[in-house]
């Protein structure tokens, strides 16, 4: 692939011109899906960008966005980038302390806040963020009585921008033409699983290459649809909601919330869908529950076609992503009688690019989806490489591998097993943190990913675990906790798992149950309960989970088996510090919060 000569803003402008009348964005408001064409997208981005310039925004200034996913986020981000500013996102669930850290560390001059809740967070910390000059609010509800001079309505910013565009019609175009590959259009903060978030600087060259790579690995057209639901702060969501649409013309469709993703899937029927493992697990659990609760004849029908589907999936994988004769006839019959109907009910009947990323997924979950004809491609990426570095080729599936390096990328394994990555998408460094930068990118330009794994002769990469998460038992056995955790999370009754055991005589686990499926199970068993805490305290529920632990232990070596576990008395949450905003467990925080449960499991050795 030749080095791209088109900057990210120029690629955006070209897409808006070429696909002007096609739908770019869709959102559901008050039960109705509202559309924005690419021409609308460009006009709104221009209005916001020039409006911020009218307020004093200059090249390299930071513009923070604190909001749920919505079109105004993208209007702001693309508008700011096009005029030469640097964007950064703040998760909508971030508490005031985190908002303060990000605003102060980045030196943001402007903040676009979605509503009263986010405005209140900003105002509570604004005096400790000396560079913050303006707080722009999108939704004015509840803010009429606010008198802080830093507040300004989003609509007013757009009005200023439209007036500026009328006075100088070519100014926005000129500012786009001034953008360079050496600019830093995005500052993406890491989730901070082990410490304070770090601001990864994504350069103009990084984003330009990311758009090209998105187009290569996700060939699509203006007829394609992406369902967006992860926070737009996350680099993976930027890939799917910004880079792929800009590269291909596909539309980004905003889910109402993470909780409504399964419903919105049925409404949108996306052709491209990134599901984090939690979403795929939830969908699979829902199918299992519906199958179990149906009448015996339908349950038998389900089991027969699922068993055949597993055989079909094996053939499909071995044959390079196709069904050879006569298996193609069997799949056609299965699709007409079962698989097609199930895919339609899930909202995935048109999905040609289902992807799992952002965290490891259990092989059993992948096998289930392959067996019903939904061939999920695993992908690996990180903030520091603009979101995509490895992806499963559509004709070369290997269960347990995250795929092969993307175009113009290289992978090698260090002596200690760490995966090293090199590509034009490798970031420019951490903002105001040269020590962390030099520890992450070596003198030869290799990105030290922090993941441990291997690569085979076909260039398929397998990831064992995060380097920092590997456990060494008291007996000297190296254990990858995520592999055990993923096997347990394949159960429809288990939502979160944290395996503990470093320098300990055996492994134990903290387990969070899946509220909906366990509550449904308890109701059918006529087990009365009131709260989540009460549910997890029921001996029958403890035994239900114990059965799942025993099932997983049967396939593990003795040192890898979970000897004891405790059910968490509460659901984990980002705001209370146990999860990152992308729902990854913060191991240290969780271990500290539930230290007594862990100590109890080691107090009386079995």
Each residue of 572-589: pLDDT tens digit?
A: 887 777 877 667 788 888
CATH topology of domain 8-179: Rossmann fold (3.40.50)
Segment 15-25 shows an average pLDDT of 98
DSSP letters spanning 296-354 = HHHHHHHHHHHHHHHHHHHHHHHTTSS--TTHHHHHHHHIIIIIHHHHHHHT-TT-SEE
Low-confidence winner among 163-167, 335-339, 433-437 (lowest mean pLDDT)? 335-339
- The CATH class of the 470-603 domain is alpha beta
pTM: 0.87
- Closest of 272, 269, 262, 266 to residue 242, by C-alpha: 272
**Cβ–Cβ under 8 Å, residues 119 and 138:** no
Cis amide linkage into residue 326, ω under 30° from 0: yes
Summarised one tens digit per residue, pLDDT across range 500-530 is 998 889 999 999 999 989 999 999 999 999 9
Per-residue pLDDT band for 606 (boundaries 50, 70, 90) equals very low
Per the structure block, which two tokens stand in for 15?
A: 């897409």
Write down the pLDDT at residue 227: 96
Q: Which is higher by pLDDT, 495 or 475?
A: 495
- What sign has the CA pseudo-torsion 8, 13, 14, 16? positive
Segment 294-301 shows an average pLDDT of 85
* Average pLDDT score, the chain: 92
Residue 356's DSSP bridge partners are: 275, 378
Write down the pLDDT at residue 562: 95
Write down the pLDDT at residue 359: 80
Write down the pLDDT at residue 194: 58
- Closest of 164, 169, 122, 119 to residue 145, by C-alpha: 119
Domain ranges of the chain: 8-179, 470-603
Low-confidence winner among 301-315, 522-536, 578-592 (lowest mean pLDDT)? 578-592
Query: Does residue 75 carry a pLDDT above 60?
Result: yes
Per-residue pLDDT band for 476 (boundaries 50, 70, 90) equals confident
């Amino acid at each position: 692939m030749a080095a791209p000569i088109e900057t990210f803003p120029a690629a955006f402008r070209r897409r808006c011109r070429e696909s002007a009348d096609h739908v770019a964005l869709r959102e559901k408001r008050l039960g109705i899906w509202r559309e924005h064409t690419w021409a609308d997208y460009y006009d709104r981005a221009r209005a916001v960008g020039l409006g911020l310039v009218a307020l004093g925004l200059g090249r390299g200034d930071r513009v923070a966005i604190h909001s749920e996913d919505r079109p105004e986020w993208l209007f702001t981000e693309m508008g700011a980038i096009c005029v030469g500013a640097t964007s950064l996102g703040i998760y909508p669930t971030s508490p005031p302390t985190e908002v303060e850290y990000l605003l102060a560390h980045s030196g943001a001059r402007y903040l676009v806040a979605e509503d009263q809740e986010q405005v209140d967070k900003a105002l509570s910390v604004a005096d400790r963020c000396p560079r913050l000059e303006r707080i722009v609010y999108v939704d004015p509800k509840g803010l009429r009585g606010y008198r802080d001079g830093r507040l300004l309505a989003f609509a007013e910013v757009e009005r200023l921008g439209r007036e500026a565009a009328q006075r100088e019609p070519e100014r926005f175009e000129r500012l786009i033409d001034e953008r360079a590959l050496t600019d830093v259009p995005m500052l993406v903060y890491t989730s901070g699983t082990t410490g304070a978030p770090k601001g990864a600087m994504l350069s103009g060259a990084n984003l330009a290459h990311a758009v090209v790579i998105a187009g290569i690995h996700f060939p699509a057209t203006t007829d394609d649809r992406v369902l967006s639901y992860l926070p737009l702060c996350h680099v993976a969501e930027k890939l799917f909601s910004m880079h792929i649409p800009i590269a291909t013309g596909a539309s980004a469709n905003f889910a109402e919330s993470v909780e409504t993703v399964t419903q919105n899937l049925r409404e949108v029927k996306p052709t491209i869908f990134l599901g984090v493992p939690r979403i795929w697990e939830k969908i699979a659990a829902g199918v299992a529950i519906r199958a179990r609760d149906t009448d015996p004849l339908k349950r038998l029908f389900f089991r027969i076609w699922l068993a055949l589907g597993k055989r079909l999936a094996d053939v499909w994988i071995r044959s390079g992503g196709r069904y050879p004769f006569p298996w193609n006839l069997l799949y056609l019959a299965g699709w007409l009688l079962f698989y097609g109907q199930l895919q339609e009910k899930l909202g995935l009947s048109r999905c040609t690019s289902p992807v799992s990323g952002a965290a490891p997924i259990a092989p059993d979950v992948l096998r289930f989806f392959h067996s019903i004809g939904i061939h999920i491609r695993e992908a690996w990426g990180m903030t520091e490489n603009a979101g995509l570095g490895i992806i499963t080729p559509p004709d070369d599936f290997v269960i347990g591998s995250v795929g092969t390096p993307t175009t113009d990328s290289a992978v090698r394994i260090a002596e200690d097993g760490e995966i090293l990555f090199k590509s034009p998408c490798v970031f420019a460094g951490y903002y105001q943190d040269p020590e962390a930068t030099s520890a992450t990118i070596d003198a030869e330009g290799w990105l030290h990913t922090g993941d441990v794994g291997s690569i085979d002769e076909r260039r398929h990469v397998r990831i064992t675990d995060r380097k920092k998460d590997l456990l060494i038992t008291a007996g000297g056995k190296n254990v990858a906790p995520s592999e055990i955790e993923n096997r347990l999370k394949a159960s429809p009754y288990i939502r979160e798992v944290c395996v503990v055991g470093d320098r300990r005589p055996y492994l134990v686990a903290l387990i969070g149950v899946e509220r909906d499926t366990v509550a449904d199970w308890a109701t059918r068993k006529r087990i009365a309960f009131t709260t989540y805490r009460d549910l997890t305290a029921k001996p029958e529920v403890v035994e239900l989970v114990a059965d799942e632990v025993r099932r997983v232990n049967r396939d593990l070596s003795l040192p890898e088996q979970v000897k004891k576990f405790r059910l968490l008395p509460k659901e984990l949450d980002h705001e209370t510090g146990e999860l990152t905003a992308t729902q990854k467990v913060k191991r240290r925080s969780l271990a500290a919060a539930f230290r007594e449960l862990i100590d109890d499991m080691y107090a009386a050795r079995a």
